[in-house]
Amino acid sequence: MSAVTLTVHRSTQEIGGNCIELAAQGHRLILDVGRPLDAPSDATGLIPATLDLTAPDTSVLISHPHQDHYGLLEETPATWPVYSGAATERLIRLTAAIFGKRVERTFTHWTPGEATSIGPFRVVPWLTDHSAFDAHMLQIEVAGRRILYSGDFRRHGRKATLVQRMMNQPPEGIDVLLMEGTNLGTNKPSRTEAALEVEFIELFRTTPGRVFVAWSAQNVDRTVTLYRAALQTGRTLVVDLYTAEVMRALSDFGRLPQPDWSRIKVVVTSSLARMYRRRGDDAFVDQMVGNGISARKLAQDCAKWVIMVRPSLARDYGRAGVTPTPEDAWSYSQWSGYLKAADGQALQAWFDDGGARACHIHTSGHASPADLRAFASAVSPKALVPIHGVAWDDDQEGFPPIVRVRDGEPLAL
Ligand SMILES: [Zn+2]
Ligand SMILES: [Zn+2]
């Protein structure tokens, strides 16, 4: 048997659900244990059948806090140690609490750029640019082999310089690059967050009433973009309790917008406030009421507001007498696929019925096909093992030598 074996248990043929094993000298690393994106949220038993759950000396490494990378963590044996960035653990716990759950695992935190030894493996995590906060690439050395796992990444967000720096000075002698290819075969927009900021400024300036924006609270790059655009147009960004909680949770990890900053207001809706109070977070709700605003107030001074919206918030707003008008605009600033679901359609109808102008401004959380090629060429691995994509079989031009594996098929390195 070879000194190092790579097995991609899942994600060679799909976007997400990553589960990748590196085995050497009787030890194993599992890079991400993601929930498949198409799995129902209550489905269990999703661990790939080829992953041996009885093997000792196994550690799990979580590249970033997206469900398609950590969603099956609790289905792995409790004896397996878990490694991640510090902010990643915080966001994973925060997300679990929203669903009334607790994560019964202890995490060991790595420091970006610093090597961590796990059994015979030497792991260097590199902070990277992605729509998730605290996303990492992982450089792994074992038995004379060198592997780079891209996790999810892009080269057009607010941390793009991190990717550029790695491309300028790539780790030497990479044998295998495990790289995502989400956007292969698409022409999804990959404009920069800075370009989006300019578009939002234009939208805020040209809208006489309120601007409603739907975005993911954990897409911190987008929160920063919207806050900056609000500041430059004299508007106030209105976020919900959950986004305020995310902002607070990340205050230790950089100078990021906080709920008590000027030109930010927290809208305290009854359903979310009830949820936090039910789980005993009265102090948090009371504090937020301090910088807060009731939904009813959003019916006045309309030209002042940039208002977070999502299907459940729209229902709360409607109950408080806040409904869209032809003076208002709305922007769906996340993956447009969610709009096709039933509650997305209801949101769309809410704005259409009110006559609000639609102006959807978004950019992908993943690298464009051109950036995937540029990154892979810069790293220049002996072999590229494709993952996290659906077009790898049709679109291989311009990449380093590709070694295509199937889910669960071991590859000797
Ligand atoms: Zn992913
Ligand atoms: Zn991701």
What CATH code is carried by the domain that includes residue 228? 3.40.50.10710
What is Dmax (Cα atoms) for the chain?
Answer: 71
384, 404 Cβ separation under 8 angstroms? no
Residue 100 domain boundaries: 4-186+365-412
Q: What does the alpha-carbon distance between residue 182 and residue 325 come to, in Å, rounded to a whole number?
A: 37
Ligand nearest to the CA of 364: 2
Residues 110, 108: Cα–Cα separation, whole Å? 7
Whole-number Å distance, alpha carbon 92 to ligand 2 midpoint, is 13
My answer on whether 121 and 264 are in the same domain is no
- What's the gap in Å between 320 CA and the centre of ligand 1? 37
pLDDT tens track for 338-363: 899 999 999 999 999 999 999 999 99
Distance CA 159, CA 153 (A): 10
Cβ-contact 366, 390 below 8 angstroms:
no
Same domain, 27 and 176: yes
For residue 304, the CA-to-ligand 1 centroid distance in Å is 36
Predicted pLDDT of residue 352? 98
**What type of residue sits at position 1?**
M
Give the closest ligand to the alpha carbon of residue 135.
2
Name the DSSP class of 377: H
Compute, in angstroms, the gap from residue 176 CA to the centroid of ligand 1.
19
Asked if 140 and 274 sit in the same domain, the reply is: no
Neighbours of 326 (CB within 10 A): 11
Q: What is the pLDDT of residue 1?
A: 52
Distance 10 CA to ligand 1 centre (A): 12
Q: Find the 57 Cα to ligand 1 centroid distance in Å.
A: 26
Name the stretches of the chain with pLDDT < 50: none
Rounded to whole angstroms, the Cα distance separating 218 from 215 reads 9
CB 175 within 8 A of CB 382: yes
Say yes or no: 129 and 206 in one domain. no
Q: Note whether 181 and 285 are same-domain residues.
A: no
Question: Mind listing the pLDDT tens digit for each residue in 87-112?
Answer: 999 999 999 999 889 999 999 999 99
Amino acid identity for residue 139 in this structure: Q
List the shell of residues around ion ligand 1, using CB closer than 5 Å: 16, 68, 152
The pLDDT, as a whole number, for residue 409 is: 97
Together in a domain, 271 and 206: yes
Cα 67 to ligand 2 centre (Å): 8
Distances (CA, A) of 174 to 147, 292, 411: 6, 51, 16
Ligand closest to 388 (CA) is 1
- Same-domain status, 46 and 119: yes
Residue 96 buriedness (CB in 10 A; 0-12 / 13-18 / 19+): middle
pTM of the complete model: 0.95
Residue reference for tokens 């009830």: 274
Spatial separation of the C-alpha atoms in residues 313 and 311, rounded to whole Å: 6
Structural domains in the chain (count): 2
